[in-house]
Chains A and B, each alone.
Chain A
Amino acid sequence: MKSILREKYRYMKFKVHSAKEYNRQDFEKQLRQALLGLMGEIQYSRCLPKLVAYSGTEGIIKILRDTEKETRAALVLITKFDSNPIHLQAIFVSGTIKGCKGKK
């Protein structure tokens, strides 16, 4: 595919502050629901967030380029997964997964 047609992504690293620990599958499901609820279907389709890495205390989501601001705002507004309080703190945005790793 010509490079001009290829979608460009950004990788956003975030810290997870939560009393409850989630496994990757549950976390991904809850995160998707929360982001969809906050962004709405239209904005969600523009950002297309996808969890690419999760360790329990940190994670990385892949989003389409130029939607960092919206995704960051949505992450700030996430306060609960089910009824458990949670805080997702975006810490770094990079063009590659490798670039995110090691950042604190």
Chain B
Amino acid sequence: MEFTDIVDFDFANPQDYGFSKALKLGRDIFIYTTPDKTLKSPSILAVHDKKSLMHNMRHFDLIYFPSYENDVELITSAVKREKRFVVSLSDIFGKQGADRSIVIYRIRRFIRFCNKYGAKFVIASFAKSVYGVRSPKEVGSIAHLLDLDSQQAEAAMRKL
């Protein structure tokens, strides 16, 4: 099975972690906050604002909604346009204590909504160093926190 991750550093040996390849932000995959004339593909739209996200999502391959807010309109619109959401593990690993619990709760609720409305999503680490990378098997072991079974979590890392 081939797995892919998105990272924010030069990842020399993704195979050691069970990934067939790692896409580096800014080199192999590009993140934008607004549509750009020189839009490179594959691209991720990362916006906090729901309206802007809905308006611009058609130009991008993946959508990253950092607040993981549940919005039926947004999710159904992504389903209609066949766009996939990105779930970033660095949002979980970058926080500690109660803040981390809140993020886990938000992501769990978001994933539940995605599953309900048939929206697709991918899981990526967005790690800034090798210490932030988790193998697909490890992600499978925290899948129950996100209301997924380990196969679903691993499948979400395969889809990239």
Contacts and interface: CB of A to CB of B under 8 A. Distances in A.
Contacts of A79: 93-94, 96, 131-132
Interface residues of A, number: 16
B141 A73 contact: yes
B92 A77 contact: yes
Interface residues of B, number: 19
Given A37-B97, A77-B92, A77-B93, A17 B130 contact: yes
B140 to A, nearest CB: 9
A63 interface: no
B79 to A, nearest CB: 30
B129 A85 contact: yes
Contacts of B134: 76, 87
Most chain-A Cβ atoms within 10 A of its Cβ — which of B92, B94, B141? B141
B145 interface: yes
Judged by DSSP, the binding face of B is: helix
Interface string A52-95: 00000000000000000100110011011000011101100000
Contacts of A30: none
A85 to B, nearest CB: 4
Which are the 10 A-B pairs with shortest beta-carbon distances? A85-B131, A72-B141, A87-B131, A76-B138, A79-B93, A73-B142, A76-B142, A73-B141, A76-B141, A76-B134
Contacts of A90: 138, 141
A69 B141 contact: yes
Contacts of B135: 89
Contact of A86 (B131, B133, B145): B131
B92 A69 contact: no
B144 interface: yes
Interface string B81-109: 00000000000111011001000000000
A86 B131 CA distance: 6
Contacts of B92: 77
Contacts of A73: 141-142, 144-145
Nearest to B134: A76
Contacts of B96: 79-80
A79 B131 CA distance: 7
Given A37-B97, A76-B134, 16 more contacts: A17-B130, A17-B131, A18-B131, A73-B144, A73-B145, A76-B142, A79-B93, A79-B132, A80-B96, A85-B131, A87-B130, A87-B131, A87-B132, A89-B138, A90-B138, A90-B141
Contacts of B144: 69, 73
